[in-house]
Structure 1
Amino acid sequence: MTDPAAAAPLTDEAVEVEVVRSETPFVGRVWNIRRDEVAYNGASIVREYMDHTGAVAVFALDENDRVLLIKQYRHPVRLRDWEIPAGLLDIGGESPLVAAQRELAEEADLVAASWHVLGEFMTSPGGSDETIRIYLARDLRAAEETFAREAEEADIEVRWVPLDEVVDAVLARRVQNPSLVVGALAAHASRARDWATLAPGDAPWPRRSRSIGEDGSGHAR
């Protein structure tokens, strides 16, 4: 007998649960650690997770199907890893698209005339509420203004790499930055479908991370 649910499109299910108690045992410079007591399946469970503001990333592709990559030091993993431009959604009231445009200009001194949503993902749903939206940026040109960079960004290395070579590096496990991995595989698959999977740059983002310190309704705790 066929399961009726099996015929429906494959999609994650949003669930509203009762949060009995919530506290913030650690407050950091960029994000916090939250501890929630939740009523679920007739039991009370406690879960700790990173309370994250969310982020955007930019998969910039030129007319020759080359991807803009940047190499940057990441202290937790002790690597200068290959990435795509990305940044936090930490400016109140700023739209994700505007944030992505800002990050491309600040990290790569580029602007793009064409913007589409390429993909979205949750970085670690068992331990963080962070979501990232990846934009496909095309019709690129140099920005009129360049930006001073400091700390980890001071020695950013920039390289243009053919999309197929980036996918090869992902599949060979030579590069492992999640935004780069997801973006490269999504772009490779979308290109094979004549980019029919893309969404407008200002498409709604219902699963976007809530602001730090807010509950699911957008109210401060």
Structure 2
Amino acid sequence: MMDDKQLTEEYLDGKVVFPGKIIRVEHWHVRLPNGETALREVACHPGAAGIVALDDDGNVILVRQHRIAVGRLTLEIPAGKLDGADEDPFVCAQRELSEETGLTADHWRKLTVLETTPGFCNERIHLYLATGLHAGKTHPDEDEFVCTLRMPLSDAVQKVMDGTFRDGKTALALLMVQQLLSAPCKQ
């Protein structure tokens, strides 16, 4: 097996080629393990948080919205980007759950951090389980048009397994919650 040094690229320098609202695209010059140099295009993202909101009846609350990049309506867990790289992901998760669903939660559990597309993007999305839900009023961003629906967790997991749900954060988070809830209690 190769050691890490035989696989690791070294960052040399970079420049911004697109300063977008959500992402910033940079060209990075890197030194390859063999000593050669290469150019990498990297999408820099502040990060995000996603939430599996699970009600007392075992339903997950999903957000239905149109995603222009894939040209279709999707069902996803509530999620949103951090308001800057310094924002606490847990604060972002609480805000996004409230904005998109009108819900607050008494209990939160961190599930994992997902690196969404590490081949070209540095986005990390922090995934949470929220329980002990309380209803409130939604207040989505002005350019956000969403509706919510409740679905049994088992049905949502089936939609992951049959390929209906194709969003990575949603798939991973739902499967993790299913596994978490089906694992025997540890003494």
Q: Same fold (TM over 0.5)?
A: yes
Pairwise CA distance, 1:91: 3.7
The amino acid of 1:104's aligned partner reads L
Q: Which runs of 5+ in 1 are unaligned?
A: 6-11, 197-221
Pairwise CA distance, 1:48: 0.6
1:182-213 C-alpha deviation (Å, 9 max, x unpaired): 111111111122577xxxxxxxxxxxxxxxxx
1:126 corresponds, among 97, 116, 119, to 119
TM-score (norm 2): 0.89
Give me the whole-angstrom Cα distance separating, in 2, the residues matched to 1:97 and 1:174: 28
Q: Which runs of 5+ in 2 are unaligned?
A: none
The 1:19/1:137 distance shift into structure 2, 3 A limit, reads same
Give me the whole-angstrom Cα distance separating, in 2, the residues matched to 1:137 and 1:194: 20
Give me the whole-angstrom Cα distance separating, in 1, the residues matched to 2:116 and 2:27: 19
The amino acid of 2:69's aligned partner reads P
Per the alignment, residue 32 of structure 2 pairs with 40
Aligned pair count reads 183
Per the alignment, residue 183 of structure 1 pairs with 173
SS of equivalent to 1:116: strand
Give me the whole-angstrom Cα distance separating, in 1, the residues matched to 2:85 and 2:185: 32
Pairwise CA distance, 1:90: 2.1
Pairwise CA distance, 1:178: 1.4
Over the residues paired in the alignment, what is the CA RMSD in angstroms?
2.4
Per the alignment, residue 107 of structure 1 pairs with 100
The 1:65/1:83 distance shift into structure 2, 3 A limit, reads same
SS of equivalent to 1:76: coil
1:6-17 aligned at under 5 Å gives the runs none
SS of equivalent to 2:56: coil
Identical aligned residues as a percent: 32
Per the alignment, residue 87 of structure 2 pairs with 94
The 1:133/1:23 distance shift into structure 2, 3 A limit, reads same
Pairwise CA distance, 1:30: 1.2
1:24-49 C-alpha deviation (Å, 9 max, x unpaired): 11111211111111123122121112
TM-score (norm 1): 0.76
The amino acid of 1:79's aligned partner reads R
Pairwise CA distance, 1:146: 4.2
Give me the whole-angstrom Cα distance separating, in 2, the residues matched to 1:183 and 1:107: 17
1:75-112 C-alpha deviation (Å, 9 max, x unpaired): 11111100111111124643111110000001100000
The 1:181/1:93 distance shift into structure 2, 3 A limit, reads same
1:65-104 aligned at under 5 Å gives the runs 65-91=58-84, 93-104=86-97
The 1:146/1:67 distance shift into structure 2, 3 A limit, reads closer
SS of equivalent to 1:20: strand
2:152 paired with 1:159: no
Pairwise CA distance, 1:177: 1.4
Give me the whole-angstrom Cα distance separating, in 1, the residues matched to 2:50 and 2:185: 18
Higher strand share: 2
SS of equivalent to 2:91: helix
